């Protein structure tokens, strides 16, 4: 069994010099226990947001290559500071950028995918007894251009390295004790989950629980990388994310989420005939716009409204394409609504239980929260509601499923 562990520290865990020293002490403690350690670090605090804000003052539409060039600097700062803190503690350590440790990605700037990791340099340094620190969130193309892996992408670096190095565990140190039944900042009596399946964490993350990057969970699931999400401020056991175990199915719902970053677009009065939906969604796909929920009503007059949701950041582009499509198919124009939120419940137990949707809808109805759209899958139900009622809805649903007390341990 490997004695190598990957430890990832998020932005809040290295937000100031004091916290960097605390992280260094934890790393040193594990090293002294005899583990080989590879550390992945995010940019300090909100530095990535600050860098993006800086760029916005220069350009509303910067080249994505330059965006990556800029954003990747954040992690270069934190690796150097953390390495120096570990050095102060008297241990041997070396820091690297993503490019230096051969994290090769495709060319999709700002959302690049890792193609390969050449871990020779890491192995070499580990063999010398050093602690290796790697900048999260970044890689390099075969043409030597710097790329980033999407927001929250240090999780991806950590999971991908854990896989490549066959680590015993990938520890994700953050500012909460683990994965909770809902965002503990919104729901005060949210409970920490001891265990969770990859599939559930993937859904929770895709639906708005930012504690793990969704894409990193796809990789963890595919390669069975054991994940431990835990606090960087305490020594408490956190949440283990692993393959589904039988007991997990006994629990109806594991978590409730809200995503406030989507927008609803409606193409009005489109002809109700075969091929129209295919045309509309092919055009949107060509522009690489991801569609989430889709709703189309029956038509009484030969024309119908078609609504769908997209990421808020894709709204402008979506409207341009939709206007064009609407004209092309003889529609009556396009409307949009940014004032929406998607609230969801997730749980693998839903596969074998009935009544989950009814319970969720009843909870929303109890306070007169109107549902605009609904979508379901085997392990989740999502409803689109007004954005300003999102937090209230999460609390109501959390309570309706008894997640606060006496629920899953």
Q: Which residues bind ligand ADP (CB under 6 A)?
A: 10-13, 42, 152, 174-176, 179-180, 182-185, 209-211, 255
Q: Which of 66, 177 has the CB closer to ligand ADP?
A: 177
The answer to whether residues 346 and 389 touch, using CB atoms and an 8 Å cutoff, is no
Q: Which of 75, 397 has the CB closer to ligand ASP?
A: 75
Q: Which of 51, 357 has the CB closer to ligand ASP?
A: 51
Residue 24 CB, shortest distance to ligand ADP, in Å, is 17
The answer to whether residues 122 and 160 touch, using CB atoms and an 8 Å cutoff, is no
Residue 13 CB, shortest distance to ligand ASP, in Å, is 10
Residue 95 binds which entry of ligand ADP, ligand ASP, Mg ion, none, with Cβ cut-offs from 5 to 8 Å by kind? none
The residues near 406 (Cβ < 8 Å, ≥ 6 apart) are none
> Tokens for 34?
């005899």
φ, ψ dihedrals at 205, nearest 5°: -65, -45
What gap in Å lies between CA 206 and CA 346, rounded to an integer?
Answer: 11
Residue 53 CB, shortest distance to ligand ASP, in Å, is 12
Q: How many CB atoms lie within 10 A of CB 6?
A: 28
Only one of the segments 41-49, 122-130, 194-202, 270-278 lies at the binding site for ligand ASP (rule: CB under 6 A); that segment is 41-49
Q: Which of 151, 260 has the CB closer to ligand ASP?
A: 151
98 forms part of the interface with ligand ASP (CB under 6 A): no
Residue 164 CB, shortest distance to ligand ASP, in Å, is 18
Q: Which of 94, 207 has the CB closer to ligand ADP?
A: 207
Q: Which of 11, 139 has the CB closer to ligand ADP?
A: 11
What gap in Å lies between CA 345 and CA 299, rounded to an integer?
Answer: 31
Residue 272 CB, shortest distance to ligand ADP, in Å, is 40
Report the site for ligand ASP in 51-90 (rule: CB under 6 A): 74
Residue 219 CB, shortest distance to Mg ion, in Å, is 15
Give, in degrees to the nearest 5, the angle at Cα 320 between 315 and 323: 115
The distance from CA 356 to its chain's CA centroid, rounded to whole angstroms, is 25
φ, ψ dihedrals at 352, nearest 5°: -115, 15
Interface with ligand ASP (CB under 6 A), residue from 154, 242, 266, 309: 154
What gap in Å lies between CA 165 and CA 43, rounded to an integer?
Answer: 23
Residue 158 CB, shortest distance to ligand ASP, in Å, is 9
What gap in Å lies between CA 36 and CA 167, rounded to an integer?
Answer: 9
11 forms part of the interface with ligand ASP (CB under 6 A): yes
Only one of the segments 149-157, 238-246, 248-256, 400-408 lies at the binding site for ligand ASP (rule: CB under 6 A); that segment is 149-157
Residue 48 binds which entry of ligand ASP, ligand ADP, Mg ion, none, with Cβ cut-offs from 5 to 8 Å by kind? ligand ASP
> Tokens for 328?
């092309």
Interface with ligand ASP (CB under 6 A), residue from 136, 178, 195, 238: 136
Say which DSSP state 354 is in.
Answer: -
Helices 64-88, 17-32: axis angle to 10 degrees equals: 60
Q: Which of 73, 335 has the CB closer to ligand ASP?
A: 73
Pairing of strands 255-259, 340-346: antiparallel
Give, in degrees to the nearest 5, the angle at Cα 182 between 5 and 51: 65
What gap in Å lies between CA 40 and CA 33, rounded to an integer?
Answer: 19
Residue 258 CB, shortest distance to ligand ADP, in Å, is 9
Residue 340 CB, shortest distance to Mg ion, in Å, is 24
Which H or E run contains 383?
A: strand 380-386
Residues forming contacts to ligand ASP in the complex (CB under 6 A) are 10-11, 42-43, 48, 74, 136-137, 151-155
């Amino acid at each position: 069994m490997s004695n190598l562990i990957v430890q990832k520290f998020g932005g809040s865990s290295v937000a100031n010099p004091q916290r960097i020293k605390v992280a260094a002490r934890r790393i040193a403690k594990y090293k002294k226990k005899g583990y080989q350690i590879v550390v992945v670090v995010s940019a300090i605090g909100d530095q990535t947001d600050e860098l993006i804000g800086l760029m916005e003052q220069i350009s509303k539409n910067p080249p994505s290559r330059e965006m990556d060039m800029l954003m990747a600097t954040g992690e270069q700062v934190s690796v150097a500071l953390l390495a120096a803190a570990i050095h102060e503690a008297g241990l041997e350590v070396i820091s690297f950028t993503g490019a230096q440790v051969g994290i090769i990605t495709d060319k999709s700037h700002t959302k690049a995918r890792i193609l390969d990791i050449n871990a020779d340099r890491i192995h070499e340094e580990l063999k010398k007894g050093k602690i290796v620190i790697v900048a999260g969130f970044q890689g390099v193309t075969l043409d030597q251009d710097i790329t980033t892996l999407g927001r929250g992408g240090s999780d991806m670096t950590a999971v991908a390295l854990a896989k490549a190095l066959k680590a015993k565990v990938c520890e994700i140190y953050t500012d909460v004790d683990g994965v909770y039944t809902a965002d503990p900042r919104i729901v005060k009596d949210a409970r920490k989950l001891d265990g969770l399946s990859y599939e559930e964490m993937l859904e929770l993350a895709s639906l708005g629980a930012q504690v793990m990057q969704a894409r990193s969970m796809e990789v963890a699931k595919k390669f069975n990388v054991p994940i431990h999400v835990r606090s960087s401020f305490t020594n408490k056991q956190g949440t283990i994310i692993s393959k589904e175990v039988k007991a997990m199915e006994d629990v109806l719902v594991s978590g409730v989420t809200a995503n406030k970053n989507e927008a609803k677009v409606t193409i009005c009065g489109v002809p109700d005939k075969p091929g129209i939906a295919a045309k509309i969604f092919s055009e949107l796909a060509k522009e690489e716009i991801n569609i989430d929920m889709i709703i189309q009503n029956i038509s009484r007059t030969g024309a119908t409204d078609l609504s769908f949701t997209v990421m808020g950041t894709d709204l402008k582009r979506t409207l341009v394409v939709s206007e064009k499509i609407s004209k092309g198919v003889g529609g009556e124009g396009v409307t949009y609504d940014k004032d929406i939120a998607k609230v969801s419940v997730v749980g693998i137990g839903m596969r074998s239980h009935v009544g989950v949707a009814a319970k969720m809808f009843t909870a929303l109805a109890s306070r007169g929260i109107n549902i605009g759209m609904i979508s379901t899958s085997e392990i989740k139900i999502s409803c689109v509601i007004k954005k300003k009622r999102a937090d209230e809805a999460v609390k109501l649903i959390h309570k309706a499923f008894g997640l606060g007390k006496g629920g899953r341990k």
